[in-house]
Amino acid sequence: MQITFLGTSSGVPTRSRNVSSIALRLPQRAEVWLFDCGEGTQHQLLRSEVKLGQLTRIFITHLHGDHIFGLMGLLATYGLAGTPTQIDIYGPPGLNEYLRACERYSHTHFSYPLKVHTVQPGAIYEDEEFIVSCGYLKHRITAFGYRVTEKDRSGRFNVEKAAALGIPSGPIYGKLKRGEQITLPDGRVIRGADLCSEPEVGRKVVYCTDTVYCEGAVELAQNADVLIHEATFSHLDAQLAFDRLHSTSTMAAQVALSASVKQLIMTHFSPRYAPGNAVMLDDLLAEARAIFPNTKLAYDFLTYEVPRRLASEVKHQQSITNLS
């Protein structure tokens, strides 16, 4: 599970930062899921190691141009990239109408199935490995944050150890893999847990932009391994954030702290904090870390590997949190 930032600027692109888009790479299934698709996203993909041909799902937070103006170009290119499969796109009301109008007026023909899903708060997608849910954020237009939850994985079953114990292969192995307890014909009682490595807790990635601080973001981000949250403004410009319904660095940090996340990565920065100005992005980082130390600044093409955690590690961390 790997996150690649394709655009980390707010509103307009700069020389070093494109507008909003991140790619979530799922190597175990050779898939890429895209979150937002600002203008120039397909060019960013070409400059990255993310493979366009693996794209299967796109999640749009809201219909402001810096989050969707790259969508039609990307979709048109995707149809020329070898043997495209179906693309599923998720987003707020109006997204389907926008895409169909672009398709009609630009005379674009998609050579592959394109399905648009209008989302509402709650679970919007589930398969054997993942659940994706969304919730309302607080912005000038309808905006959603997204939460990707990987399902827990049982530990690896030790076939060699089972064979050494004289356990016959077949349906019994399936029961032991599920952690069940069995009794062999000779009377021995075998616990499945003794033949499996420790289970892995599913990872959780949350993406929240554009929004001012709101309880919806806190709820969506609960116990996330990674929270990607906009930080358009410095705390010094908090009034601008309230006026425009965007977040400051400290608001992002407060969401992370309140939701007990493991890692905060801030993105969607105003160009006003470019190097050489009175306030720069390092100042935003310092503001956030004063509240939530485990904070990073995103930059274009930053790649972050979401770490796996064993069940015992999670239980230990929860015990420490409860004591504190």
Beta strands in the chain (DSSP E): 2-7, 21-26, 31-35, 55-59, 87-91, 114-118, 122-126, 130-136, 144-150, 181-183, 189-191, 200-201, 204-208, 226-230, 263-267, 295-297, 303-305, 309-310
Cα angle vertex 16, ends 18, 306, to 5°?
A: 70
Cα angle vertex 152, ends 148, 156, to 5°?
A: 140
Structure tokens at 38: 């600002």
Question: By C-alpha distance, which of 58, 76, 79 is closest to 68?
Answer: 58
Kindly list the distances between the CA atom of residue 161 and the CA atoms of 166, 179, 181, 192, in Å, as whole numbers in the listed order. Answer: 9, 15, 16, 11
**Helix axes of 281-289 and 249-259: crossing angle, nearest 10 degrees:** 30
In this structure, the number of other CB atoms found within 10 A of the CB of residue 97 comes to: 11
**Helix axes of 71-78 and 95-105: crossing angle, nearest 10 degrees:** 60
Question: By C-alpha distance, which of 216, 212, 272, 278 is closest to 247?
Answer: 212
CA 241 distance to own-chain centroid: 24
Q: Quote the CA–CA distance of 254 and 233 in Å, as a whole number.
A: 14
Q: Quote the CA–CA distance of 278 and 137 in Å, as a whole number.
A: 30
Instruction: Name the active-site residue from 66, 210, 225, 237.
Output: 66
Q: Bridge-partner residues for 122, per DSSP?
A: 134
- The DSSP-derived string for 41-67 is HHHHHHHSS--GGGEEEEE-----HHH
Residue 72 — φ and ψ, nearest 5°? -65, -40
- 300 an active-site residue? no
Tell me which residues are annotated as active site.
Answer: 66
